[in-house]
Amino acid sequence: MAALRLGSLPPATLTAITVTKKCERFNGGVKVVGDGGGDNGFPPFLPKEVEKIKDPFARNLARRIKRLPVQIGCSESYIMSSCVQPLIQTDANPVVLLHCFDSSCLEWRCAYPLLEESGLEAWALDVLGWGFSDLGRLPSCNVASKRYHLHQLWKSYIKRPMVLVGPSLGAAVAIDFAVNYPEAVEKLVLINPSVYAEGTGNLAKLPKVVAYAGVSLLKTFPLRLYANLLAFNDIPLSKSVDWTNVGRLHCHMPWWKDATVNFMVSGGYNVVSQIKQVKQKTLIICGENDKIVSNQLAMRLLFELPNASMQRVPDSGHLTHVDKPRRVVKLISDFTRAK
């Protein structure tokens, strides 16, 4: 969901694991969950509501979501982490796709196939606390935990400097990660970046019962539909309804409410002081008709980042990578390959 104005190869220990149409295999006591399972080929861990989605791009990408074990803490502690893994590994550094606030890798349903067609090695990841990972034993979902989880996944599977792409609040996730782990990030792409909110503000001070009530409201179809109407320009109502179902699919995960409250009361992302510390070359992609994040904030970010350029996309709203995927993929591809 768009933020409202509220502010490789497996590691050596897993090399024997292969993912087939069977959903689970075991190696050394570590479970790997892959594609397939249902009559329509959806992974069995996805909510049953995935069957109601009509968008063919969303359905196709959902079939490719898998869970990889990411080590957290002690050597026997893993989080089965959801992502879309590339089919091939290339010589060039990979493109790693994050998503917006309270969303999932399905945001990249339209752009991901185009990135593959362009010859790029692309990963679409679910940020800890969102998406479709197995969080039955709920870990902390604060900023530090999200950063650590992403680094552990990168260290285990990606293992090369990456072009890290963050839309909306995902831009704050990307900046925070790039500043803390500069060796892991070659370049940044920030799409309609939401980076000037000072965390979750007063929401972090709410009593737990009020926080849970607010999060329950966040899940409701009417609110999500309204956010969807703000995020896109001139799409048919039927498509907006279907895309709303795509955008809230992860909310049906049994741990979603607890993880979202955990993030909210932790204070959220506040990266204002980190912006000038970014060393990586950065591309800002800005939808000219963004109704959620002001273009003026994108201009401010352009001047505050040490090494940045900006490209505007006409007739595009807040989720430019969804409504103008060919243009966004062309910009990412050109930027990734530029010396």
Catalytic (active-site) positions: 168, 290, 318
d(CA 332, CA 323): 15
d(CA 287, CA 291): 9
Q: Are 329 and 115 in contact, with CB atoms under 8 Å apart? A: yes
d(CA 302, CA 315): 21
d(CA 261, CA 241): 26
Q: Are 66 and 83 in contact, with CB atoms under 8 Å apart? A: yes
Q: Token digits for 215?
A: 């999060």
Closest to 30 measured CA to CA, from 44, 15, 45: 15
Q: Are 97 and 110 in contact, with CB atoms under 8 Å apart? A: no
Q: Are 243 and 123 in contact, with CB atoms under 8 Å apart? A: no
Q: Token digits for 1?
A: 């969901």
d(CA 36, CA 20): 8
Q: What is the dihedral of CA 66, 72, 74, 75, to 10 degrees?
A: 30
Closest to 307 measured CA to CA, from 332, 275, 260, 274: 275
